[in-house]
Amino acid sequence: MSSYELGKGIEMSTNPLLSEATITAPAEGQDDLSPGNPANDGADDRAVVRASDPNDERGTDRAALRAALKPLVLKGPAYRARRARIENLRLGVQLASLAVIVWIGWQFTRWVFALQAGRLEGTRPPGIEGFLPISALLTFRHWLETGEVSRVHPAGFVILGLVVATGLLLKKAFCSWLCPIGTLSESLAAIGRNLFAPLLRRMRAPRVRLPRWADLPLRSIKYLLLAFFVYAIFVKMTPRDVALFLGSPYNKVADVKMMLFFAQISTLALKTLVVLIGLSIVVPYFWCRYLCPYGALLGVTSLLSPLKITRTPKNCIDCGLCAKACPSNLAVDRATRVSSDECFGCLSCVAACPVPSALAVETPAPWRRAVRPTVFAALVVVLFFGGINAARLAGYWRTEISEQEYLRRVQEVNAPKYSHARGSVPEYGRGD
Ligand code: SF4
Ligand code: SF4
């Protein structure tokens, strides 16, 4: 076996007997290329260039092989810089989005507590309606049937529409770039990676992964949950039920009820939350991968996305770094175009690839244009936040419920009329 330096931190060694080459590339911030360095997703970055590689036929002259691969492979510092650039870009968008959501949560909590104390203080941020997906789905059905957007929670409807739009155009980019639960899941996965680093090193695995026999049925749970909601809302409820729900006292304070649910959390709900957090540390992205109905909806819509991760086999050196970096455990290094409903559009694979021309987000054939990570990020942000601003300008953002009405309703929020049983609300009169 002999080795060649393709650049600082990227090394290729060949075994003429086996006709295979090993590419060793460093992870971000990793100069130690020894196998099993946990800095690189808990696993070493070595992989075998298979004999199927056009540049690796039996008997290939080593110098020719080196010469063929050298211009394709990014050198150590360039590789690290590119990887860091793409990863930091997503981290920046995630943190900015999280900051907006924390600000919304803070403003809303202050506003509700003031209402409970009988004061009108601050304003209700409409973005809080992003946490009312059931109400948004009902508003969507009502809009389909009547052409009217209910003005009780119009922002929730707009946000649902924009989430679906991102899925249709940009895979599940909402999950990996904007969703606060996605960001939280990623942080918990990182904690798990550090906790289990020695074990992962021994297993030579980038992350804990459930066996296929458990993973597949568990992945279907989120689709079953989505199917349940779709059945309950679009099949079981009549148009009258939908209109009754949308105008009900319960729906009008659904956001307040949600906040009070977390502020006065029951022991059972708290235990469930702790179990979910624990599971997300052990099994990365447990909530997103197995349980989130929003993720299921995006998974379905993302199948139609024209932009997909695309590998160019003639430029690929079969190092396998993309597959190791993929949080969804997708075999990116085997696919030509990643169509999976589990692709988050996170670009971790693109960042990890040492040959920029081998892997990119691309438009479909016959146009085949690569979309740069910065452009992809801009599309995510402009589509989502631009859409919100367009809805704001068009008057589909603020609720029709006045602050005075909220003040009255929050005072009586525990009355029976502010309840529902499986989507069915108590009959109410005009004064309610
Ligand atoms: S295939 Fe690439 S973009 Fe899709 S989830 Fe895996 S790493 Fe992220
Ligand atoms: S596409 Fe994947 S396997 Fe091919 S060079 Fe890039 S990281 Fe390596």
pLDDT at 39: 35
Report how far residue 306's alpha carbon sits from residue 362's, in angstroms, rounded to the nearest whole number: 8
Angle formed at CA 96 by CA 89 and CA 138, multiple of 5 degrees: 115
**Helix (H), strand (E), coil (C) string for 328-346:** CCCCCCCCCECCCCCCCCC
123 shares its domain with 137? yes
Ligand 1 centroid from CA 304, angstroms: 16
Please give the span between the terminal C-alpha atoms of the chain, in angstroms, as a whole number: 81
Nearest ligand, measured from the Cα of 177: 1
- Shared-domain flag, residues 72 and 26: yes
Query: 106 and 225: one domain?
Result: yes
Single-letter amino acid code for the residue at 54? P
Task: Give the tokens for residue 28.
Answer: 């971000």
Statement to judge: residues 152 and 226 lie in one domain: yes
Domain that holds residue 40: 2-76
Q: Is residue 35 domain-shared with residue 182, that is, in the same domain?
A: no
DSSP 128: G
Ligand 1 contact, 332 CB (< 6 A):
yes
Does 364 lie in the same domain as 317?
yes
Q: Where are the alpha helices (DSSP H) in 117-149?
A: 133-146
Which of 41, 350, 353, 357 has the most ligand 2 atoms within 8 A of CB, as the residue to mutate?
Answer: 353
Cα 352 to middle of ligand 2, angstroms? 8
Q: How many domains does the chain have?
A: 3
CA of 320 to the centre of ligand 2 (A): 5
Q: Is 345 exposed, middle or buried (0-12, 13-18, 19+ CB in 10 A)?
A: buried
Q: Taking the model in full, what pTM does it have? A: 0.82
Give the pLDDT confidence score for residue 430 in this predicted structure.
67
Where does ligand 2 bind, in terms of residues with CB under 6 Å?
Answer: 311, 316-322, 332-333, 352-353, 355, 358-359
Residues 40 and 114 in one domain: no
Task: Pick out the chain residues at pLDDT < 50.
Answer: 1-59
Residue with CA closest to ligand 1 atom 2? 349
* Ligand 2 geometric centre to CA of 230 (Å): 39
Residues 260 and 156 in one domain: yes
343 lines ligand 1 (CB under 6 A): yes
Residue 424 token pair: 């069915």
> Which tokens is 264 given?
């006065």
Q: Considering the domain boundaries, does residue 425 fall inside one?
A: no
- Examine the domain organization and report whether 160 and 21 are in the same domain: no
Residues 95 and 230 in one domain: yes
271 and 169 within one domain: yes
Q: Is the CB of 249 under 6 A from ligand 1?
A: no
309 lines ligand 1 (CB under 6 A): yes
**Residue 84 falls within a domain, yes or no?**
no
